[in-house]
Amino acid sequence: MNIDYKALAEKYGTPLYIYDFDYIENRYTTLKEAFAGKKSLINYAVKANSNLSVIAHLAKLGAGADCVSIGEVKRALEAGISKYKIIFSGVGKRDDEIRMALEYDILLINLESEAEMKRVEQIAKELGVEARISVRVNPNIDPQTHPYISTGLHESKFGVEIAMAKRMYIYAKKSEFLNPVGIHFHIGSQLTNLEPIREACGIVADLVRSLKAIKIDIKFFDVGGGIGVVYDDEVTITAKEYTEAIFAMTKGLDVTLLCEPGRYMVANAGAFFTKVLYEKLNEEKRFVIVDGAMNDLIRPSLYSAYHKIEAVEKEGEKTPADVVGPVCESGDFFGKDVQLPPLEHNDLIVVHSAGAYGFTMASNYNTRAKSAEVALEGGEDRLIRKRETYEDQVRLEREYLVK
């Protein structure tokens, strides 16, 4: 992104998230065009970046939404996504969430267990409605990614095995209050190898063929998300390679293809920037202490995730430094042994590829306020979430304070 970081930092303050909406539109268009000629729906994974303006931007482009809480369902609806383009997924759905999803009449509820299916059936019966459902199938495929974002193996909490899925579909077919219209799998995130996707797709497509043979008419074939992006030097999958593999494995099936990209859409659309407070030298160890922290961007601490870090408009001989924040945890860092020039108070540092799982995973740890968010579109910038204040943080506590 060709951005005047210093001007934005002066205008909106730091720490700060910025998102390039033109980039997001390009990513959506590229993926949609790769599905050309097939019935398809791109359901943006709201958990990646749940800002209302981000969702609304994708809604205008025609996207649906993949939601993993009723709160995300509400965000999708408020941002303008049609109820018939919304999927409600997630391992643990409360009764009130299931009830609200049925009342909203969204496209379908994605089931993760037999027990969950029985709860959905009971609540649908109480409401006197038919629940459109899909089942998340666990194809037991190693996605060859980070274990924390791997979801397609039997030891994962997600989905059910093939035999259980088939039993669930047969049960749902016979139920007065369940309508099995879809099937779903998602083997993991940040996938950079096409073969696990192809293999999983083939396994689930074979299950669909067996279900259709016993008159269970699956209409939606959801391949999940997970297309990898470049954080460092990864060689990733192109949209065309991705869709061609799906087309090959689903050949002959009359289904609408669904996918759930999140990181693919927004990761490299975003940057996080933070100001230097001061430098510190312990023996031979150099630290650059900044005003952002792990509460703002937790991926490096949580996953040991790499983000490219650069100093803005600063020259000089580069030496290794740990870029760390003010939070009282040893895990509060953005990068270790980052090559940086000498830095001074108020110099600006940019953490790249921060559009996915950045602000959406932020917290108020250490009573730190959440940062502002800014959209860039057509050469213009605009605030899409104001900076949080101390008053915002204590509002829900103050009335209960006893002194």
**Pick from 393, 41, 367, 390: nearest CA to 219:** 41
What phi-psi label fits residue 327: left (phi over 0), alpha (psi between -120 and 50 degrees) or beta? Answer: beta
What is the CATH topology of the domain spanning 35-261? Answer: TIM Barrel (3.20.20)
Catalytic residues, by residue number, are 328
CATH 3.20.20.10 residue ranges of the chain are: 35-261
Q: How far, CA to CA in Å, does 326 sit from each of 118, 368, 388? A: 48, 10, 17
> Which H or E element spans position 270?
strand 270-282
pLDDT tops 80 at residue 185: yes
**For the chain, what is the mean pLDDT?**
93
**Pick from 305, 321, 291: nearest CA to 361:** 305
User: What value does the mean pLDDT take over residues 257-286?
Assistant: 96
- Tracing tokens 């002194």 back to the chain, one arrives at 403
Q: What is the DSSP string of 229-253?
A: --SSS-----HHHHHHHHHHHTTT-
> Angle at the Cα of 57 (from 55 to 62), degrees rounded to 5?
90
Residues 370, 16: contact at Cβ < 8 Å? no
Q: pLDDT digit string (tens) for 333-354?
A: 999 999 999 999 999 999 999 9
Bigger pLDDT: 120 or 140? 120
pLDDT tops 70 at residue 12: yes
Q: Is the domain defined by 5-16+268-398 classed in CATH 2.40.37.10?
A: yes
CATH 2.40.37.10 residue ranges of the chain are: 5-16+268-398
User: What value does the mean pLDDT take over residues 119-140?
Assistant: 96
Residues 323, 288: contact at Cβ < 8 Å? yes
Terminal Cα distance for the chain, rounded: 51
pLDDT tops 50 at residue 52: yes
What value does the CA radius of gyration of the chain take, rounded to a whole number of Å? 23
pTM for the model stands at 0.94
Please state, as a whole number, how many other Cβ atoms lie within 10 Å of the Cβ of residue 238.
Answer: 12
Q: What contacts 24+ positions apart, CB below 8 Å, involve 312-319?
A: 312/5, 312/6, 312/273, 312/347, 312/348, 312/349, 312/350, 313/6, 313/348, 314/341, 314/342, 314/343, 314/347, 315/341, 316/341, 316/342, 317/341, 317/342, 319/286
pLDDT tops 80 at residue 296: yes
Q: pLDDT digit string (tens) for 356-382?
A: 999 999 999 999 999 999 999 999 999
Q: What is the pLDDT of residue 118?
A: 97
CB-count burial class (<10 Å; 0-12, 13-18, 19+) for 173: middle
- Tracing tokens 């932020």 back to the chain, one arrives at 362
Q: Report the DSSP pairing between strands 220-222 and 108-111.
A: unpaired
Q: How far, CA to CA in Å, does 11 sit from each of 4, 53, 314, 383? A: 11, 20, 20, 10
Q: What is the pLDDT of residue 67?
A: 98
Read off φ and ψ for residue 373, nearest 5 degrees.
-125, 140
Report the alpha-carbon distance of residue 296 to residue 311 in Å, rounded: 18
User: What value does the mean pLDDT take over residues 69-74?
Assistant: 98
As a whole-number percent, the residues of the chain with pLDDT over 70 amount to: 96
User: What value does the mean pLDDT take over residues 56-64?
Assistant: 98
Report the alpha-carbon distance of residue 316 to residue 318 in Å, rounded: 6
Report the alpha-carbon distance of residue 345 to residue 324 in Å, rounded: 14
Q: What is the pLDDT of residue 153?
A: 44
